[in-house]
Amino acid sequence: MEPSGSTRRRGFQVIQSVVRAALCLSMMVLSAGTTLSAERPNVLLIIADDLGMQLSCYGDQHIETPNIDAIAASGTRFKTAYIAQASCSPSRVSIYTGLFPHTHGHIGLAKPTNPPLRSEFHNQTLPKLMKSAGYRTGIIGKLHVNPKSAFKFDLYRNADLGPNNGREVRAMAEAADEFIHAESSKPFLLVMSYVDPHHPFAVQMDGMPKKPTLPGEVPAWPFQQIESDDLLEEAANYYNCVRRLDWGVGMLMEKLRAAGKDENTVIIFLGDHGPPFVRAKTTCYEAGLRVPFIVRWPGVSKPGLFSEAFVSSVDILPTILDAIGEEIPAHIQGRSLRTVASGNNTGWRDVLAGEFHQHTERPFFPRRALRDARYKVIHNLLAGKLTIRIGIDGDLAHEVVRTEAYGGSAVQKAMTLQADPPEWELYDLEADPWEFNNLAAAPAHAEALKRMQRLLFDWRKDTNDPFLDGATLAKKHADVNARGETISLFDGKTLDGWVTLDGKPITKGWEVVDGVIHLKIEKDRPGHIRTTRTFENFELEFEWRVAEGGNSGVKYLVKESQSDLGLRYFGCEYQLLDDDNHKNGRTPTKTAGALYELYAPLPDFKRLRPLGEFNHSRIVVDNGRIEHWLNGRRILKATIGSKDWQAKIDDSKFSSVKDFASGPGAIMLQEHLSEAWFRKILLTPLP
Q: Residue 305 has what pLDDT?
A: 98
Q: Closest Cα partner for 117 from 101, 141, 137? A: 101
Statement: residue 316 has pLDDT above 70: yes
Work out whether the CA dihedral 90, 92, 97, 100 comes out positive or negative. Answer: positive
Left (φ > 0), alpha (ψ -120 to 50) or beta: where does 549 sit?
A: left
Instruction: Give the lowest-confidence range in 73-77, 453-457, 592-596, 658-662.
Output: 658-662
Does one domain contain both 185 and 291?
A: yes
Looking at the chain, the whole-number percentage of residues with pLDDT higher than 90 is: 79
Which of 481, 507, 527 is where one domain is finished? 481
Does one domain contain both 19 and 121?
A: yes
Angle at 443 between CA 438 and CA 444, to 5 degrees: 85
Q: Closest Cα partner for 109 from 361, 280, 287? A: 361
Q: Closest Cα partner for 539 from 360, 385, 278? A: 360
Work out whether the CA dihedral 301, 306, 310, 312 comes out positive or negative. Answer: positive
Residue 637 inside a domain? The answer is yes
Instruction: Provide the residue type at 250 as one letter.
Output: G
Residue 639: which CATH number? Answer: 2.60.120.560
Tell me the per-residue pLDDT of 143-175, one tens digit each, with 9 for 90 and over.
999 999 999 999 999 988 887 766 899 999 999
Distances (CA, A) of 594 to 263, 627, 644: 53, 10, 16
Cα 666 to chain centroid, rounded: 33
Does one domain contain both 475 and 498?
A: no
Cα 187 to chain centroid, rounded: 33
Contacts of 447 (CB under 8 A, 6+ apart): none
Does one domain contain both 258 and 392?
A: no
Cα 357 to chain centroid, rounded: 13
Residue 361 inside a domain? The answer is no
Residue 253 inside a domain? The answer is yes
Contact assessment for residue 153 and residue 137, using Cβ atoms and an 8 Å cutoff: yes
Q: How many residues does the chain have?
A: 687
Tell me the per-residue pLDDT of 362-397, one tens digit each, with 9 for 90 and over.
789 999 999 999 999 999 999 998 878 788 887 889
Which of 481, 513, 531 is where one domain is finished? 481
Does one domain contain both 453 and 557?
A: no
Domain count for the chain: 3
Does one domain contain both 671 and 639?
A: yes
Contact assessment for residue 489 and residue 685, using Cβ atoms and an 8 Å cutoff: no
Does one domain contain both 118 and 153?
A: yes
Instruction: Provide the residue type at 240 as one letter.
Output: N
Residue 111 inside a domain? The answer is yes
The span from the CA of 19 to the CA of 165, in Å, is 33
Q: What is the DSSP letter of 85?
A: B
Q: Residue 38 has what pLDDT?
A: 54
Mean pLDDT of 115-128: 97
Residue 394: which CATH number? Answer: 3.30.1120
Instruction: Provide the residue type at 274 as one letter.
Output: G
Burial class (CB in 10 A: 0-12, 13-18, 19+), 61: middle
E strands along 256-358, which residues? 265-271, 293-296, 305-312, 352-356
The span from the CA of 617 to the CA of 308, in Å, is 46
Residue 526 inside a domain? The answer is yes
Tell whether omega for the bond before 215 is within 30 degrees of 0, i.e. cis. Answer: no
Selected residue with higher pLDDT from 341 and 26: 341
Work out whether the CA dihedral 377, 378, 381, 384 comes out positive or negative. Answer: negative
Residue 208: which CATH number? Answer: 3.40.720.10
Relative to beta strand 352-356, strand 551-563 is unpaired
Does one domain contain both 179 and 296?
A: yes
Instruction: Provide the residue type at 557 as one letter.
Output: L
The distance in angstroms from the start CA to the end CA of the chain is 40
Q: What is the DSSP letter of 591?
A: S
Q: Closest Cα partner for 537 from 553, 559, 555, 557? A: 557
Which of 439, 466, 481 is where one domain is finished? 481
Residue 362 inside a domain? The answer is no
Q: What is the DSSP letter of 431?
A: T
Range of the domain at 583: 487-685
Q: Closest Cα partner for 77 from 233, 268, 283? A: 268
Mean pLDDT of 177-190: 94
Note if the pTM is more than 0.95.
Answer: no
The span from the CA of 596 to the CA of 571, in Å, is 10
CA dihedral angle for residue 369, residue 372, residue 377, residue 378, rounded to 10 degrees = 10
Contact assessment for residue 59 and residue 10, using Cβ atoms and an 8 Å cutoff: yes
Instruction: Provide the residue type at 432 as one letter.
Output: D
The span from the CA of 555 to the CA of 501, in Å, is 12
Mean pLDDT of the chain: 91
- Which of helix, strand or coil describes residue 173? helix
Instruction: Provide the residue type at 182 as one letter.
Output: A
pLDDT band for position 197 (cuts 50, 70, 90): very high
pLDDT band for position 31 (cuts 50, 70, 90): very low
Does one domain contain both 329 and 449?
A: no
Contacts of 587 (CB under 8 A, 6+ apart): none
The tally of CA atoms less than 13 A away on the side-chain side of residue 277 is 27
Instruction: Give the lowest-confidence range in 102-111, 267-276, 311-320, 518-527.
Output: 518-527
Q: Residue 6 has what pLDDT?
A: 42
Contacts of 69 (CB under 8 A, 6+ apart): 14, 15, 18, 55, 56, 57
Tell me the per-residue pLDDT of 646-686, one tens digit each, with 9 for 90 and over.
999 999 999 999 889 988 999 999 999 999 999 999 998 98
Does one domain contain both 578 and 668?
A: yes
Tell whether omega for the bond before 276 is within 30 degrees of 0, i.e. cis. Answer: no
Burial class (CB in 10 A: 0-12, 13-18, 19+), 437: middle
Q: Residue 1 has what pLDDT?
A: 39
CA dihedral angle for residue 628, residue 630, residue 633, residue 639, rounded to 10 degrees = -10
Does one domain contain both 390 and 331?
A: no
Looking at the chain, the whole-number percentage of residues with pLDDT higher than 70 is: 94
10 Å Cβ neighbour count for 38? 7
Q: Residue 165 has what pLDDT?
A: 63
Tell me the per-residue pLDDT of 237-291, one tens digit each, with 9 for 90 and over.
999 999 999 999 999 999 999 999 999 999 999 999 999 999 999 999 999 999 9
Does one domain contain both 474 and 494?
A: no
Q: What is the DSSP letter of 458?
A: H
Q: Closest Cα partner for 140 from 166, 162, 116? A: 166
Contacts of 435 (CB under 8 A, 6+ apart): 223, 285, 286, 376, 414, 425, 427, 429
